Amino acid sequence: MLTLKGQGVSKGLAIGKVFYFDRTPVEIVRREVEDPTAEFARFEAAKASAIDELAALYERAVNTIGEKDAEIFSVHQMMLEDLDYCESIQGMIEGESVNAEFAVDATAELFAGMFASLDDPVMKARATDVRDISRRVIGILTGKRDTLIITEPSIVAADDLTPSETVTLDRSLLLGIVTSGGSANSHTAILSRTMGIPALISVQGLDETVHGRQAIIDSATGALYVEPDEETQTAFHARLEEFERQQILLHGLVGQDNVTLDGRRIDVFANIGSPADVPLVHKNDAGGVGLFRSEFLYLESTDYPTEESQYQAYKTVLEQMQGKKVVIRTLDIGADKQIGYFNLPKEENPALGFRAIRICLSRPEVFKTQLRALLRASVHGKLAVMFPMITSKSEVDEIKSIVAEVKDELKARGQAYSEDVEFGIMIETPAAAVISDVLAKEVDFFSVGTNDLTQYTLAADRQNANLDRFIDTHHEAVLRLIELAAKNIHAQGKWIGICGELGADTSLTRRFLEMGIDELSVSPSKVLEVRNMVRHIDLSKN
Ligand code: PEP
Ligand code: MG
């Protein structure tokens, strides 16, 4: 048994096979093999796995992007079965005693060259496909993949994962996440908490040798046990039982109010990243959605999501929330959330750069598409729209005039929207907190993004794992900014919530209640823990 130590960033326990996502580029060298028959069998086994992967991808794609677009995965399966392709590989392995990777790569280039020389554009395009299927087989042969796809229940291990890699993982197969890099408030950590998937970061000594091996994640102790011995497995099952017992106890709070012993109520809402998270919101009895990070719809796509596809996603969430409030945050990309098709410029300091509302105000056509989709969806439930990374009143003025234009466009199109939509902004910058008296006159509500507010107040990059010891998440400067904002916002009769990760920190719940915070929005799995804490607090006593 190998024990690796890291830091748990999403609670829970998991057991399963590790899939290590190795992104070092594959270098294919020609090697002579002693047993060409065994080598060909190695190719045949990799081919069979590739076909299984493609079948799983086809099934998944049919359900998400439809049969027509999913077809490519069945075409790839057929290409892998192609007799000429397989015979060429067999001929090289058995005739020249070369290794399978080399034979596949050489055959791919041979066939791609042939396809590329044809006049028919459909056949020409097959050059890319033959390279693609061969890359998949080589990936299986070498264990080095260039895209992260799991096709069986897996603990995903990697150096680090980008938000788009995490969001496109098939969550029905994802048992846990372990990375050697990462930071507690990166979006990958946040996503794993939202999905309720156990996760460890900063795992020392984690590398590709764990691939394919059985492992246990225990996020409470930050341990990853690779090939756990019997004693560890027994202890794991006992801890799992205890964890489940606690979950059952917490679930006894379903249907109860979030009220202190002395009668102060607070809303406890949930954060989501996709319509697929709504069942978790219901399961944990959240009073609404306090943050729907809409950018994950963009991160899952390979091109700008259309107004129609966004409208469907927002409508689904609003309908499924059955009249409970849903706060949807407009697109917040940039910094760690990079999207290829946006072609964002490379920046020295991306967290201080072109991100969130700055991109939306600079690309009004992208912003307006999202606003149209949101307003159209507003007739299906109780919608609130929130804008990220605000620093000044002039940004809010600009947003308001764009919203007014979009409403006029919808009226001209004869498309309905609700006049009851609330508009709010996030307090994520010290600037917004300091001028919250001014901003409070402009919008209906506020939500504090403590992840960014902390990084900007303490001048400490939330992505940088080396800074963890310098980031005091309870820093008085951050708490005082929240307190100031709450005072200013309440003076204007508006409401203020917290949707950053600090909202789920139950050691601060009392302080937030004392500040008069109206709503805490947390990962679905934290809702009942926060409720439990609220119900044990007596604000009339010290
Ligand atoms: C925050 O900054 O606290 C927040 C909620 O937004 P995000 O984590 O998506 O940047
Ligand atoms: Mg933020």
Instruction: Express each pLDDT in 149-199 by its tens digit.
Output: 888 999 999 999 888 788 878 888 999 999 998 888 888 888 899 888 999
Contact by Cβ (8 Å): 146, 139: yes
Question: What is the average pLDDT score of the chain?
Answer: 94
Q: Count other C-beta atoms under 10 Å from residue 343's C-beta.
A: 6
Question: Do 159 and 214 belong together in one domain?
Answer: yes
Question: Do 418 and 509 belong together in one domain?
Answer: yes
Q: Is the predicted pLDDT of residue 121 greater than 90, yes or no?
A: no
Question: Residues 507-524: pLDDT tens digits?
Answer: 999 999 999 999 999 999
Confidence of residue 255 (pLDDT cuts 50, 70, 90): very high
Local structure of residue 259 (DSSP, 8 states) = B
Instruction: Give the span between the Cα atoms of 278 and 313, in whole angstroms.
Output: 11
Residues that are catalytic: 187, 499
Q: Which helix (H) or strand (E) holds 434?
A: helix 430-434
- Mean pLDDT to the nearest integer, 481-485: 98
Nearest ligand to the CA of 296 is 1
Helix (H, G, I), strand (E, B) or coil at 118: coil
Structure tokens at 360: 């939306």
Residue where the block lists tokens 């990166």: 186
- Mean pLDDT to the nearest integer, 239-259: 95
Choice from 269, 293, 331 to test ligand 1 binding pocket (greatest atom count within 8 A of CB): 293
Q: Please list, in sequence order, all residues whose beta carbon lies within 8 angstroms of the beta carbon of residue 172, skipping any fewer than 6 positions away.
A: none
For atom 6 of ligand 1, the residue with the nearest CA is 449
Contact by Cβ (8 Å): 294, 369: no
Question: Do 296 and 345 belong together in one domain?
Answer: yes
Task: Please give the number of the atom of ligand 1 that sits closest to the Cα of 449.
Answer: 3
- Mean pLDDT to the nearest integer, 80-89: 96
Q: Which domain holds residue 230?
A: 2-23+147-235
Choice from 426, 452, 458, 505 to test ligand 1 binding pocket (greatest atom count within 8 A of CB): 452
User: Which pLDDT score is estimated for 2?
Assistant: 96
Q: Count other C-beta atoms under 10 Å from residue 57's C-beta.
A: 20
Task: Please give the number of the atom of ligand 1 that sits closest to the Cα of 452.
Answer: 2
Could you say which of 235, 270, 292 is where a domain stops?
A: 235
Kindly list the distances between the CA atom of residue 304 and the CA atoms of 165, 167, 298, 339, 404, in Å, as whole numbers in the listed order: 17, 16, 7, 10, 23
For atom 1 of ligand 1, the residue with the nearest CA is 449
Instruction: Give the span between the Cα atoms of 297 and 453, in whole angstroms.
Output: 24
Contact by Cβ (8 Å): 410, 456: no
Task: Please give the number of the atom of ligand 1 that sits closest to the Cα of 291.
Answer: 5
Question: Do 154 and 138 belong together in one domain?
Answer: no
Task: Determine the distance separating the centroid of ligand 2 and the alpha carbon of 386, expressed in angstroms.
Answer: 12
Task: Please give the number of the atom of ligand 1 that sits closest to the Cα of 190.
Answer: 8
Q: Please list, in sequence order, all residues whose beta carbon lies within 8 angstroms of the beta carbon of residue 300, skipping any fewer than 6 positions away.
A: 164, 167, 168, 274
Inside any domain, residue 118? yes
Inside any domain, residue 250? no
Nearest CA among 48, 51, 52, 72 for reference residue 61: 72
Inside any domain, residue 241? no
CA angle 383, 387, 391 (to 5 degrees): 155
Q: Which helix (H) or strand (E) holds 51?
A: helix 36-64
Structure tokens at 35: 């047993």
Structure tokens at 56: 């799983």
Could you say which of 86, 110, 142 is where a domain stops?
A: 142
Hey, what amino acid is at 487?
K
Q: Which helix (H) or strand (E) holds 88?
A: helix 83-96
Task: Determine the distance separating the centroid of ligand 2 and the alpha carbon of 257, expressed in angstroms.
Answer: 28
- Mean pLDDT to the nearest integer, 200-214: 95
For atom 3 of ligand 1, the residue with the nearest CA is 449
User: Which pLDDT score is estimated for 147?
Assistant: 77
Local structure of residue 25 (DSSP, 8 states) = P
Kindly list the distances between the CA atom of residue 110 and the CA atoms of 26, 73, 189, 502, in Å, as whole numbers in the listed order: 19, 22, 43, 56
Q: Is the predicted pLDDT of residue 427 greater than 80, yes or no?
A: yes
CATH number at residue 219: 3.50.30.10
Could you say which of 110, 126, 142 is where a domain stops?
A: 142
User: Which pLDDT score is estimated for 129?
Assistant: 86
Inside any domain, residue 247? no
User: Which pLDDT score is estimated for 291?
Assistant: 98
Pocket (CB within 6 angstroms of ligand 1) = 190, 291, 293, 332, 428, 449-452, 499-500
- Mean pLDDT to the nearest integer, 496-514: 98
User: Which pLDDT score is estimated for 127?
Assistant: 86
Helix (H, G, I), strand (E, B) or coil at 24: coil
Structure tokens at 45: 């086994």
User: Which pLDDT score is estimated for 63?
Assistant: 66
User: Which pLDDT score is estimated for 65?
Assistant: 58
Nearest ligand to the CA of 191 is 1
Question: Do 298 and 157 belong together in one domain?
Answer: no
Q: What is the pTM of this model?
A: 0.81
Question: Do 279 and 312 belong together in one domain?
Answer: yes
Contact by Cβ (8 Å): 129, 76: yes
CATH number at residue 71: 1.10.274.10
- Mean pLDDT to the nearest integer, 349-365: 95
Task: Determine the distance separating the centroid of ligand 1 and the alpha carbon of 10, expressed in angstroms.
Answer: 16
Choice from 190, 271, 451, 505 to test ligand 1 binding pocket (greatest atom count within 8 A of CB): 451
* Highest averaged pLDDT of the listed ranges 60-69, 86-95, 456-465: 86-95
- Mean pLDDT to the nearest integer, 87-91: 97
Task: Please give the number of the atom of ligand 1 that sits closest to the Cα of 335.
Answer: 10
Inside any domain, residue 246? no
- For the chain, the domain total comes to 3
Instruction: Give the span between the Cα atoms of 182 and 163, in whole angstroms.
Output: 11
Q: Which helix (H) or strand (E) holds 156?
A: strand 154-158
- Mean pLDDT to the nearest integer, 209-219: 96
Q: Cα Rg for the chain, rounded, in angstroms?
A: 26
Inside any domain, residue 437? yes
Question: Do 52 and 120 belong together in one domain?
Answer: yes
Nearest CA among 87, 105, 110, 92 for reference residue 33: 92
CATH number at residue 455: 3.20.20.60
Question: Do 422 and 392 belong together in one domain?
Answer: yes
Question: Do 331 and 188 belong together in one domain?
Answer: no
Instruction: Give the span between the Cα atoms of 425 and 398, in whole angstroms.
Output: 13
Inside any domain, residue 452? yes
393-397: list long-range contacts, CB under 8 Å, 24+ apart.
393/435, 393/438, 393/439, 393/442, 395/357, 395/361, 396/425, 396/439, 396/442, 396/443, 397/442
Instruction: Give the span between the Cα atoms of 202 and 217, in whole angstroms.
Output: 13
User: Which pLDDT score is estimated for 335?
Assistant: 87
Task: Determine the distance separating the centroid of ligand 2 and the alpha carbon of 357, expressed in angstroms.
Answer: 11
Structure tokens at 500: 């950053």
Question: Do 122 and 157 belong together in one domain?
Answer: no
Task: Determine the distance separating the centroid of ligand 1 and the alpha carbon of 449, expressed in angstroms.
Answer: 5
Inside any domain, residue 301? yes
User: Which pLDDT score is estimated for 64?
Assistant: 58
Q: Is the predicted pLDDT of residue 69 greater than 80, yes or no?
A: no
Task: Determine the distance separating the centroid of ligand 1 and the alpha carbon of 490, expressed in angstroms.
Answer: 22
Structure tokens at 112: 């791609």
Task: Determine the distance separating the centroid of ligand 2 and the alpha carbon of 451, expressed in angstroms.
Answer: 6
Task: Determine the distance separating the centroid of ligand 2 and the alpha carbon of 163, expressed in angstroms.
Answer: 14
Task: Please give the number of the atom of ligand 1 that sits closest to the Cα of 500.
Answer: 3
Q: 5 or 64: whose pLDDT is higher?
A: 5
Helix (H, G, I), strand (E, B) or coil at 72: helix
Question: Do 102 and 221 belong together in one domain?
Answer: no
Structure tokens at 509: 């719940």
Question: Do 109 and 183 belong together in one domain?
Answer: no
